[in-house]
């Protein structure tokens, strides 16, 4: 029988920081995960991405890498592709799944094909606005899809560049705001409902949905400030959902995780309306693990220990390799 390595013999490298707008949040996620793994007895370093990373990984390879870089290149699959090239075990999703989830339009195409409900949408690259004339294009979209709409960067996170369009006059500025984060805008039908997030973890028995978390910003939208300022948002876990709706939410989160080919852990964002209708918005492969992040909250609510869950994923990633 293969001997199980003592925790102290396992060297984990957490990659956190990165070059996106979510740099600080990622660092916080990285430090929190490192503390939790160290309490499990594992040797753990946190390192940012830079030009020295590749030679350092080749010269002193850790046993396993936990990428917690939010945004690009941590969530778009490129960091995972580099780690795969070096042959290092990764905790989390590989490059293919990360690429699918990062591109919200690709993800929505896959979800719809799989029969998973997601709001109606159209996409528009920045270039199309100069090619066809912005005003004419926006008028057409508003006439075809109806208002309200939501405009968001095709690739992004933390609610950055996300704007609701309730009247046509709001449309141009929403598009401009979006294009400062991504060259392609995803324009979706606005869903009146509650924000629900479901963590999915795989600690040996296949992907499992954690208790759903309801997110209620106390003022305005669930934007960057609401996410990271203590006291700006009320989280309820488990979310107050009827039993059948909660079961369906869990089922759709798991189906989303599987359809996109995600691994170890993800967070699926959904909207639930008053009639219990559910729409999947997106999935995240590097969910935040800060003090106010939803995944650790959901792990706790499931009666699990965040450090033990991470340590199990670390061991499983090593065993997979
Ligand atoms: N179609 C929609 N209808 C209503 N609100 C939405 C819609 N899409 C996004 N939102 C709101 O914007 C937030 C961020 O959207 P999301 O697609 O999860 O992008 P990200 O979290 O990557 O910025 C959601 O949590 C929700 O509050
Ligand atoms: Mg989201």
pLDDT the model gives residue 3: 59
201 C-alpha to center of ligand 1: Å?
A: 22
Of all protein residues, the one whose alpha carbon is nearest to atom 13 of ligand 1 is: 159
User: Would you say the CB of residue 75 lies under 6 angstroms from ligand 1?
Assistant: no
pLDDT the model gives residue 201: 98
308 is catalytic: no
Mutation pick for ligand 1 pocket among 239, 281, 293, 294 (CB with most ligand atoms within 8 Å): 281
CA distance 68 to 25: 10
Atom of ligand 1 nearest to the CA of 197: 25
User: Would you say the CB of residue 22 lies under 6 angstroms from ligand 1?
Assistant: no
Using DSSP, state whether 150 is helix, strand or coil.
strand
Mind listing the domains of the chain with CATH numbers? 7-100 (3.40.50.20), 121-189 (3.30.1490.20), 193-303 (3.30.470.20)
pLDDT the model gives residue 275: 95
Of all protein residues, the one whose alpha carbon is nearest to atom 23 of ligand 1 is: 159
Q: Which ligand is nearest to the CA of 224?
A: 1
Q: Which ligand is nearest to the CA of 196?
A: 1
Instruction: Give binding residues for Mg(2+) as ranges.
Output: 269, 282, 284
CA distance 43 to 289: 19
Q: Which residues of the chain have pLDDT under 50?
A: 1
User: Would you say the CB of residue 227 lies under 6 angstroms from ligand 1?
Assistant: no
What order do you get walking across the sheet with 11-15 strand by strand? Answer: 43-47, 11-15, 64-67
Tens-place pLDDT, residues 267-304: 999 999 999 999 999 999 999 999 889 999 999 999 99
Query: Which one, of 172, 193, 320, lies nearest residue 249 by Cα?
Result: 193
**Percent composition of the chain: helix, strand, coil (DSSP 3-state, to 5):** 40, 20, 40
Residue 308, H or E segment: helix 306-320
User: Would you say the CB of residue 222 lies under 6 angstroms from ligand 1?
Assistant: yes
User: Would you say the CB of residue 269 lies under 6 angstroms from ligand 1?
Assistant: yes
89 C-alpha to center of ligand 2: Å?
A: 27
22 is catalytic: yes
pTM metric for this prediction: 0.95
pLDDT the model gives residue 1: 46
205 is catalytic: no
Other CB atoms within 10 A of residue 232 CB? 16
Q: Which residues surround ligand 2, an ion (CB under 5 A)?
A: 269
């Amino acid at each position: 029988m293969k001997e199980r390595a003592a925790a102290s013999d396992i060297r984990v490298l957490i990659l956190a920081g990165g070059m996106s707008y979510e740099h600080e949040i990622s660092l916080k996620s990285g430090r929190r995960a490192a503390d939790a793994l160290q309490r499990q007895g594992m040797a753990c370093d946190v390192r940012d991405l830079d030009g020295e990373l590749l030679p350092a990984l080749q010269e002193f390879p850790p046993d396993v890498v936990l990428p917690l870089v939010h945004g690009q290149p941590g969530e778009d699959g490129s960091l995972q592709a580099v780690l795969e090239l070096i042959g290092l075990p990764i905790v989390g999703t590989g490059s293919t799944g990360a690429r699918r989830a990062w591109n919200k339009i690709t993800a929505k195409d896959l979800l719809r094909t799989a029969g998973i409900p997601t709001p109606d949408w159209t996409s528009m690259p920045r270039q199309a606005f100069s090619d066809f004339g912005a005003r004419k294009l926006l008028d057409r979209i508003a006439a075809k899809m109806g208002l309200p709409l939501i405009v968001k960067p095709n690739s992004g996170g933390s609610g950055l560049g996300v704007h609701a369009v309730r009247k046509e006059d709001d449309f141009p500025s929403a598009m401009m705001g979006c294009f400062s984060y991504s060259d392609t805008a995803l324009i979706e039908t606005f869903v009146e409902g509650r924000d629900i997030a479901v963590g999915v973890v795989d600690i040996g028995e296949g992907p499992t949905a954690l208790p759903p978390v309801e997110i209620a910003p106390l003022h305005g939208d669930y934007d960057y400030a609401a996410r990271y300022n203590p006291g700006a948002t009320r989280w309820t876990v488990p979310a107050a959902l009827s039993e059948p709706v909660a079961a369906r939410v869990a089922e759709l989160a798991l189906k989303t995780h599987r359809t996109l080919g995600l691994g170890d852990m993800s967070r699926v964002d959904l909207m639930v309306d008053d009639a219990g209708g559910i729409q999947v918005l997106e999935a995240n492969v590097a969910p935040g693990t800060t003090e106010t992040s939803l995944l650790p909250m959901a792990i706790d609510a499931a009666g699990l220990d965040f450090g033990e869950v991470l340590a199990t994923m670390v061991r499983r990633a090593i065993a997979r390799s």
